[in-house]
Structure 1
Amino acid sequence: MSAQKLLERTFNFAEGELLLINKPYKWTSFDVVGKIRNSLKPLKLKVGHAGTLDPLATGLLILCTGKLTKQIDTFQAEDKEYTGTMILGATTPSFDMETVVDQEYPLTNLTEEAIYAAAAPFTGDIQQYPPAHSAVKVNGERLYVKARRGEEQELRLRFVSVPVFEITRIALPEVDFRIVCSKGTYIRSLVSDFGKHLENGAYLSKLTRTRSGNFFLEDAFEVTDLVEYLKNKREAAAAEQADTNIQ
């Protein structure tokens, strides 16, 4: 969404606002929350997000402020849509580009027909393990913290739904895809399992959340635009208050 659209909006952050944000690459979801919360000072408001995005992912992040934070679980429960790119012929411990390649496989045995067909077993109701490098908590500590210490953990299977898993482009080693999935689905795990199904390897190189429920990335604000807008609003309010005091 353009910066101009911000000027056409009237916000009531205390009563509650739902903000659609395009999360930047390498920002954590909590980075975005912190940035917006700081921009709302001196108001002491609750700000939370409805559905974590990995730091290396981009796209739609829903933020709620004020009284609307009570509805975060409702927004978080909605299905999600993603587009992304996987790299075939290699694996990484984190199933994405956070860690370096640890094993490589030849691509000579892969055909486009086999790649397209490999999406079918991962469509519908499926089971998957979360990545060892994930934000899932075990005994109060996130798995990625344990993984970075080299500790092995017993991962629990989770049931998720993937109504749509569509291969949209093949240019080996890159394969593009579009996925619609339920809350709690790990795209990294899906990609890793996809590679195993091909008796090969795969890891996630790019991921963008394009939709969450009835909310779309195309309607999202850029973080910098929203922060600048809030800064200007604060300065305008301070100037108005100063004029009032002088009078």
Structure 2
Amino acid sequence: MLFQKMTLHEAVRLNDHKALKRAIRRSIGSLDACDERGYTALHYAVIEGRVKCVKMLLYNGANPNTSNIPEYNKDLERHHRSSTPLWFAFEPGREQILKLLILSGANVNDLTGKQAAWPSDYCCEPYAPLREAISWGNVAAVRLLLKHEAKVDAALIRAVEKWLLMYNDDYLRRYPGARRVKPKDRQEILEMLKNTVTRQKKSGGKFSDSLRCSSGYGGNAGRPQPPAQIRTGSWERS
């Protein structure tokens, strides 16, 4: 009886797949409901790093572009308000989750409310998911975002170049919340960004000095049906 009454959020937090399956059956049509903090079950699945829970929710219709509700989560850090689940998928080790979200239609150029976590003296606006992945020094996440057409602009490259110059022990002392990123990872990220711009220019793609949000999914926009890769498991090999 206890399991039958377990909510989506509770099942995800406990990583109980059987309970989550039952909760999904009861919640079709309301998989994107928020709890008292403004988070959906998918938010928690991403935050907790629950790959199977993420897969189950997305396959059954959870919207990867639903942002948490700012009115509910005023106690959260400023840069965590109004964020879609994608924003929580850049911590190293969550690349499988990031891939699932993107395959399910998550907007890689989402600008719905995340505020800059980078220090203001070398951050540029707007603050897009690619910048968040870079701030983690997550090479795999940056590569995945670029593969799926995350926008790269001149301002971002300048900011990363400045970051490379600033990133030393003194910088880490000045910004105690800064994430430690290996020098080789910082350099590899910069090279990936520059190579992306070079390919865009060679292919005739427009390279703007300002970042533009794509016309795809965003905010609480709709989403397509989950792709077959999620059901078959081929997403892990793509």
* Larger strand fraction of residues: 1
More helix by share: 2
**Greater relative contact order, per chain length (Cα 8 Å cut-off, separation 6+):** 1
* TM-score, normalised relative to structure 1: 0.24
TM-score, scaled to structure 2: 0.25
